[in-house]
Amino acid sequence: MRKALIFLTLCLLLAFAVSGCASKKRPDEYRTSVLEGLPFVYKMTVQQGNIITEEMVDDLELGMSKRQVRYVLGTPLLTDFFHTDRWDYTYTIRRGHQPLEIRYLTLLFKEEQLIDIRGDIKPDPLRARARAPREVVVTVPDYEDRKGLLTRTIKAVGLEPEE
């Protein structure tokens, strides 16, 4: 009787395990583990594409050349071979357990000049003027001639050659 009870328990566990693996409905197709959704499980921040900030978009002005735009925003993520006058910038970020954030920016050119800006962030001159001008001050320390251990030892012993 005891062997039959153990056998029956093992069969039930196996049946539950097999039926759990065979379920067709998945809440998230990218989820690889049930434990992944728990709050104490670390999920790394994943960024893809060009980082697009409000400051960068505010620096854009209609009439800029492609070279100037590339300096401000970087190389576009998508450039169509057949539509060379359209640049698409896409930026996605998933921070841990938070939902995916997507930002789009499309720039249209005509005769190498920027004519239209479309996307999630638009240039705002008021926001650009309200921002304080960035001034970077770099202080460089004076040069110190630092002697190595061997040079200091030779000098301490008194065997330093005369210059």
Q: What is the DSSP string of 125-140?
A: HHHHHHSPPP------
**Tens digits of per-residue pLDDT, 85-99?**
999 999 898 888 888
Minimum mean pLDDT range among 28-32, 75-79, 96-100, 113-117? 28-32
Element (H, E) at 17: helix 2-21
For residue 23, name the pLDDT band (cuts at 50, 70, 90): low
Domain boundaries, the chain: 43-134
Just give the CATH number of 43-134.
Answer: 3.30.1450
The H or E element containing residue 62 is none
The DSSP call for residue 153 is H
* Cβ atoms of residues 50 and 91 within 8 Å: yes
* pLDDT, mean of residues 100-125: 90
For the whole model, what pTM was predicted?
A: 0.57
Q: Tell me what pLDDT residue 18 has.
A: 64
Q: What is the 3-state secondary structure (H, E, C) of 81-118?
A: CCCCCEEEEEEEEECCCCCCEEEEEEEEEECCEEEEEE
> Tell me: the pLDDT tens digits for 104-113?
999 999 999 9
